Amino acid sequence: MARTSNVRKGLSKQLKIDLKAWLFIAPALVFILTFTVYPILRSLWLGMNQLEMGMPKPYFVGFQNYVQLASEPLFWKVMRNSFAFSLLTVLPSMALGIGLAIIVNKKIRGVGFLRTAYFYPAVMPMIAIASTWMFIYMAQYGMLDQLLASLGLKSLNVLSSKKTVLPALSLMYIWKEAGYLMIFFLSGLQNISTEIYEAAKIDGARPWTIFRKITLPLLAPTMLFVSTIALTNSLKLVDHIVIMTEGAPNNASTLLLYYIYQQGFIYFDQGKASSLTVIMLVIMLTVSMLQFIKTDTKIYYN
Amino acid sequence: MKKNENIIPATLGFILAFVWLVPLVWLIGTAFSKASFAMSLVPNSGFTLDNIIYVWQNVPFGKYYMNTILIVVVTFSVQCFTGTLAAYALATMKFRGEKLVFLIIFIQIIIPNDVLIIPNYRTLSDLKLTDTKLGIMLPFFGSAFGIFLLRQTFKTIPLALSEAAIIDGCSTMQIIRNIYLPSSKAAYISFGLVSVSYHWNNFLWPLIVTNSPENRTLTVGLALFAKSKEAVMQWANVCAATFIIIFPLVLAFFIFQKKFINSFVSSGIK
């Protein structure tokens, strides 16, 4: 008798805690559910509908949007562009980030100034960076073309050539991102014990050997997690396209998220834009899963 | 011996720092010198405030400033409120469905808001909130980053403290206010710096949501100005406008460099 009442008391106590916890979480949860979870489901649904300007209601078409996308050369071009932009930005900005982190991890006078100089682009809006770099890249009168002219070279007009537009945008982005990635590598470096380095030095190891055999392997977990950040950031970048190229020339600089924006809000084809959103969600999910699969297998031995 | 060791990285470091600062120096130099047709790294004309004054008078940057400040402040305040409550529950209570809550919060960390512009814009028009400041803010009122950051900090506060407070007759709200808030100031500052920088700089969502100058933010205003006909080849004016929108944040960063960098480290780790 006493026992059952105790159990009941225990249950109701747990129920009270459950209710209280959910009540506390509810305000945050409502917004996350409405603007992150629900829209994911909604794009899955809208992606299977035809929904263009002037249509009052979506019209269910199944997977037709995806079939159509797959047969569209422009879609593949956009995918190639996004892939190229990520490739051109992620690895160089990570490599540069490691280099900068090694520099600011040394006891140099004025190291605070160096850190500030490398990191400040990360607190500037992409829009401001793009509108500044537009003048660097501007045809003929821009800083780059003027520099080339003063060296007696032909002006490049990088933003209007198919071949140079993505590398030019990538260079700008590497400049912005390297300092941001630097701070993660810096905290990674600071976690490596100085004893290892001292031991290596006593053994007469050269700086390059120390870097290859000690620093790089011990930074591996940091690199893995920074690569997810860098990849996600580069995939979702769109502001610079809006202000600098709008996808020109001939869609050579149209990236996936810009394409979604263009289809959804300039051409008002929200069905197609939703299928593109679903494709982008799958890519994002894959990118972040990558991190877990690999960390499970090895790398953490620090 | 020890000093020589660092000469190469130090030299390289300062050369790189110079390269990194070129765009900012040029931007500020151009914003404050007389407009000239030829572009050069070192401004070749005298100092002037004309560009800033011209831009301030011809573009409603004052209005954009008010909008941006309002959006940044309200967003962060609501995030603090929802985040504190959720973090408290996740840090101190064992309850059923905990895993589900973590999963939902985790989804927000993986999927950046910008990817969901299409469905979220539809939700906003269902709620009749397009072209409003509330519409710009609403999707950000629950911040997964904030919840995780605060939960981590709350977990370091010994439960014995709040147990003692309960015996003394304190309510949960009092415990949060008197024990948890004061011991987590550093976390709130980090959260604030990351949140404010994000929303000050955010562009795509406010661009889509707004279509009247009444509700535009600084970034949207700058983009529209930089692309307008009157800005073509007028780099002095565009630089002045750019300077106007970046200087509060960049200045704050230059002063509180360390704090900013530490906060952004926590933003990545989530």
Torsion angle, alpha carbons of A153, A157, A163, A164, to 10: 90
Say if residue B115 is in the same domain as residue B177: yes
Identify the pLDDT of residue B48.
Answer: 86
Say if residue B44 is in the same domain as residue B106: no
Q: Is the pLDDT of residue A271 over 80?
A: yes
In a domain, B54, yes or no: no
Instruction: Answer yes or no: do B118 and A264 touch at CB < 8 A.
Output: yes
Better-scored residue on pLDDT, B141 or B230: B141
The full 3-state SS of A75-143, as one line of letters, equals HHHHHHHHHHHHHHHHHHHHHHHHHHHHHHCCCCCCHHHHHHHHHHHHHCCHHHHHHHHHHHHCCCCCH
CB contacts, 8 Å: B207 with chain A: 242
Shortest Cα distance, chain B CAs vs residue A202, angstroms: 14
Identify the pLDDT of residue B46.
Answer: 79
CA-nearest of B238, B135, B235, B150 to B191 is: B150
Q: What is the mean pLDDT of residues A52-65?
A: 85
A301 interfacial to chain B (CB closer than 8 Å):
no
Say if residue B42 is in the same domain as residue B162: no
CB contacts, 8 Å: A187 with chain B: 265
Say if residue B42 is in the same domain as residue B135: no
Q: Is the pLDDT of residue A1 over 90?
A: no
Q: Which residues are bridge partners to A59 per DSSP?
A: A50
Say if residue B136 is in the same domain as residue B20: no
Say if residue B96 is in the same domain as residue B199: yes
- In this structure, what DSSP letter does residue A249 have? S
Give me the number of domains chain B comprises: 2
Say if residue B72 is in the same domain as residue B39: no
For chain A, domain boundaries: 2-46, 66-297
A260 interfacial to chain B (CB closer than 8 Å):
yes
Give the whole-angstrom CA distance, residue A237 versus residue B60: 27
Say if residue B32 is in the same domain as residue B161: no
Query: Would you call B4 exposed, middle or buried from its count of C-beta atoms within 10 A (0-12, 13-18, 19+)?
Result: exposed
Q: Is the pLDDT of residue B129 over 60?
A: yes
Shortest Cα distance, chain B CAs vs residue A153, angstroms: 17
A119 interfacial to chain B (CB closer than 8 Å):
yes
Shortest Cα distance, chain A CAs vs residue B13, angstroms: 6
Q: B219 to chain A: nearest residue by CA?
A: A127
Mutate: best of A103, A115, A127, partner B, most B CBs <10 A = A127
In a domain, B157, yes or no: yes
Q: Assign residue B112 the CATH number of its domain.
A: 1.10.3720.10
In a domain, B55, yes or no: no
Q: What is the mean pLDDT of residues A147-155?
A: 84
Among A168-172, A196-200, A259-263, the least confident range: A196-200
Give the whole-angstrom CA distance, residue B168 versus residue A47: 57
**For residue B53, what are its two tokens?**
């004054």
Shortest Cα distance, chain A CAs vs residue B240, angstroms: 11
Give the pLDDT band (50/70/90) at residue A301. Answer: very low
Say if residue B235 is in the same domain as residue B134: yes
Identify the pLDDT of residue B229.
Answer: 75
In a domain, B146, yes or no: yes
Of all residues in chain A, the percent with pLDDT exceeding 70 is 93
Q: What is the mean pLDDT of residues A154-174?
A: 91
Give the whole-angstrom CA distance, residue B195 versus residue B207: 19
Say if residue B144 is in the same domain as residue B227: yes
Instruction: Answer yes or no: do B86 and A113 touch at CB < 8 A.
Output: no
Instruction: Answer yes or no: do A20 and B104 touch at CB < 8 A.
Output: no
- In this structure, what DSSP letter does residue A154 have? P
Q: What are phi and psi of B184, to 5 degrees?
A: -120, 25
Q: Which residues are bridge partners to A60 per DSSP?
A: A49
Q: What is the mean pLDDT of residues B19-28?
A: 92
Q: What is the mean pLDDT of residues A2-24?
A: 77
Angle at A168 between CA A268 and CA B220, to 5 degrees: 45
Query: Would you call A89 exposed, middle or buried from its count of C-beta atoms within 10 A (0-12, 13-18, 19+)?
Result: buried
What ipTM goes with this model? 0.92
B166 interfacial to chain A (CB closer than 8 Å):
no
- Model confidence over B35-47: pLDDT tens digits? 766 666 666 677 8
Q: How far is CA A143 from CA A115, B27, B44, in A?
A: 26, 12, 14
In a domain, B149, yes or no: yes
- What is the b/e burial string over B99-108, where b = at least 16 CB atoms within 10 angstroms of the residue's CB? eebeebbebb
Supply the range of the domain harboring residue B12. 2-48
B10 interfacial to chain A (CB closer than 8 Å):
yes
CATH (residue range A66-297): 1.10.3720.10
Say if residue B26 is in the same domain as residue B95: no
- Model confidence over B150-196: pLDDT tens digits? 999 999 999 998 889 989 989 999 999 999 999 999 999 999 999 99
Q: What is the mean pLDDT of residues A214-231?
A: 90
Say if residue B44 is in the same domain as residue B70: no
- Model confidence over A74-133: pLDDT tens digits? 999 999 999 999 999 999 999 999 999 999 998 888 999 999 999 999 999 999 999 999
Q: What share of chain A is helix, strand, coil (3-state, %, to 5)?
A: 75, 0, 25
